[in-house]
Structure 1
């Protein structure tokens, strides 16, 4: 099982279509994505940001290119206190910016769902990121990528991840055929449905594999949605 860092089976994308999307590097060592949810807050995954010193975070927004864009200084990083208990569960964190983000056509906040909003099997979500584009790839792409994937029903996903799946998660991808999904590098980015961020890229077995869909933290799940509300008032 690996935390997911890339888009598999997708295509090049434009930041104008995903103006909430940001990228960040921690300590020059690992790479994750995130989403602008207000002028002061970024949403990401706990596994990207647990025990992270804000001064080691280089976060960029506003560009389709990974190494371009506006650097957004971070003041504080807060991971869910119950992350990884049980394993992989409640994989959510928020990062507070030092200064309010100046919104533009390429930097905009994404909305959040109401608590307990259902993720229905067969509906589609869009996922963007700079993660690896195939399993085992040596490098991550310079250009933003995106993919549309179907939501996998909870019972189907449970067949693949029965030892770790909780109701604070949902799955996406082509369950039987594979070929599309997230991978190393996409972690922390959002899955978008109906103009809202409904999931946070969390983990998976391989990348775009059959019977191994991508797993997302369910933003509408009460333990996750309440954590976001508590810290950001959103």
Structure 2
């Protein structure tokens, strides 16, 4: 497996318990990120985030659903507010064959209605090849706004700087990992915290700013202690993105990548 930072990496953090959130950050614009979806337990509790990968498939973090039956949760698509959006049900869950990637595809029982004006949605672009690793990433989600706080009522976003590979290794993460985030989040910065797992790490297309290029799937570390102090540890860990993107492109139903992303 290629560990070099010349390649885009998938943004992952392995978890023992709990799910991930955007602490601080800012409110996301209402419509540009309609690929983001919400996973809920059947009792209405927010579970994780995800992204639309094809007309009937969702990308998310494996640890969010690996111990669940398909009847234990459902997906909301096209909602900006937490708990909003059209409901879709799960047909089955396809995990990545290597559990270290913490990735899965959730197949839906019905196709997503992309012409739904009340709940607009779009497919996120999956790169067809490796490209240079960006200096910053974008992440969006409805995760908790702080330790022991409720999930965000509306979609939030945050920009996280990439951390040099050598510094990332000081945190005793697996050698395949890459970190992003701030050493200690200062006022106005922030970090992922609790309940954002499964959402996409991405960069925006410079020519079509309302489109997004997939870079990975967020999880959270079990080493997280305090959203205000944990900094880079909360920022994220990643594994090599080209390998996972190749798997996604093989398993996602076509059409799964808008031509603009090719």
- The reply to whether TM is greater than 0.5 is yes
Instruction: Give the one of 25, 48, 56 matched to 1:40.
Output: 56
What is the aligned residue count?
Answer: 222
Give 1:5 deviation, angstroms: 1.3
Given that residues 219 and 236 in structure 2 are in contact (C-alpha distance below 8 angstroms), is that contact kept between their aligned partners in structure 1?
Answer: yes
Give 1:139 deviation, angstroms: 1.8
**Which residue of structure 1 lines up, in the alignment, with residue 194 of structure 2?**
184
Deviations 1:63-120 (A, max 9, x none): 111111110122111122321xxxxx21101111111111146300010123443424
Give 1:218 deviation, angstroms: 4.1
- TM-score normalised by length of structure 1: 0.84
Higher relative contact order (CA 8 A, sep 6+): 2
Computing the radius of gyration over CA atoms, which structure comes out larger, 1 or 2? 2
Give 1:213 deviation, angstroms: 4.2
**Which residue of structure 2 lines up, in the alignment, with residue 55 of structure 1?**
71
Per the alignment, in what secondary structure is the counterpart of residue 228 of structure 1? Answer: helix
Per the alignment, in what secondary structure is the counterpart of residue 236 of structure 2? Answer: strand
| In structure 1, distance between residues paired with 2:185 and 2:112 | 41
Is there any run of 5+ residues in structure 2 with no aligned partner, and where?
Answer: 1-13, 205-211, 257-262
| In structure 1, distance between residues paired with 2:192 and 2:109 | 30
| In structure 1, distance between residues paired with 2:240 and 2:81 | 27
- TM-score normalised by length of structure 2: 0.76
Given that residues 15 and 62 in structure 1 are in contact (C-alpha distance below 8 angstroms), is that contact kept between their aligned partners in structure 2?
Answer: no
Alignment of 1:81-230 (within 5 A): 81-83=97-99, 89-104=100-115, 106-120=120-134, 123-134=135-146, 136-160=147-171, 162=172, 164-167=173-176, 169-175=177-183, 177=185, 179-194=189-204, 195-204=212-221, 205-206=223-224, 207=227, 209-218=230-239, 220-222=241-243, 224-230=244-250
Give 1:15 deviation, angstroms: 4.0
Is there any run of 5+ residues in structure 1 with no aligned partner, and where?
Answer: 84-88
Per the alignment, in what secondary structure is the counterpart of residue 102 of structure 1? Answer: coil
| In structure 1, distance between residues paired with 2:201 and 2:166 | 20
Given that residues 181 and 232 in structure 2 are in contact (C-alpha distance below 8 angstroms), is that contact kept between their aligned partners in structure 1?
Answer: no
In 2 relative to 1, CA 203–166 (structure 1 residues): closer, same or farther, beyond 3 Å? farther
* CA RMSD between the two structures: 2.3
In 2 relative to 1, CA 59–133 (structure 1 residues): closer, same or farther, beyond 3 Å? same
| In structure 2, distance between residues paired with 1:138 and 1:176 | 20
